[in-house]
Amino acid sequence: MSVTPLRMHMQLRPTGDAPEPRGLAAVAVLDEHLYVFGGLLEADSEAAYRALASNPGTCVSAFFQRTCEPDLWRLDLQTLCWERLWTRGEGPASRAGCAMFAWRERLFVHGGDTYGTRYPANELFAFDPATGTWSRHTLACKNLRNEPGLVAASGV
């Protein structure tokens, strides 16, 4: 017996003000919303990818001139409407290549590269969508440094 995969394509047309095209942004899903944080603007992304291909193991921030604002965007997956979230509290600075995951009704952002630094960041921030507030958390391991992260499968 042969099984032929059914391929269906549908073009989605989100509304609202969408974030600028960017690369190395952090993305997570929480409560039927897709969140996007930081990243490199498109022109910087292309230059960084080319430079990284020629210099493996080098911190990505060595190759870009600017990141996006430390902005947080939300796409409602039911209505397909984008909105920029204006947040409060101590949130992460502009960065690219960080990991973001959802856990216990909050979004967590860790690591990534910030402009002008030689090593990836070693910071953990939490965002509470119910209050629109960021908070900074202390890591138990002070010397935790890694390449830009990837989190999948609901943060596990």
Query: What pLDDT was estimated at residue 135?
Result: 97
What's the confidence (pLDDT) of residue 75? 98
Structural domain contains residue 16:
no
Please check whether residue 64 lies inside any domain of the structure. Answer: yes
The verdict on residue 8 lying in a domain is no
Q: What is the mean pLDDT of residues 56-62?
A: 57
Domain housing 117? 22-137
Q: Which tens digit of pLDDT belongs to each residue from 118-153? A: 667 788 999 999 999 999 998 777 665 555 555 544
Q: Please report whether residue 84 resides in a domain.
A: yes
- For the chain, what is the domain count? 1
Structural domain contains residue 5 = no
Q: How far is CA 8 from CA 5, 11, 12, in A?
A: 10, 10, 13
Query: Has residue 46 been placed in a domain?
Result: yes
Q: What is the pLDDT of residue 56?
A: 63
> Higher confidence at residue 31 or residue 39?
31
Q: What is the CATH number of the domain that holds 42?
A: 2.120.10.80
Tens of pLDDT, residues 63-114: 555 566 789 999 999 999 999 999 999 999 888 888 999 999 999 999 888 7
* Selection from 66, 101, 69, 64 nearest residue 84 by Cα: 69
In terms of average pLDDT, the best of 21-25, 34-38, 54-58 is 34-38
Prediction pTM value: 0.76
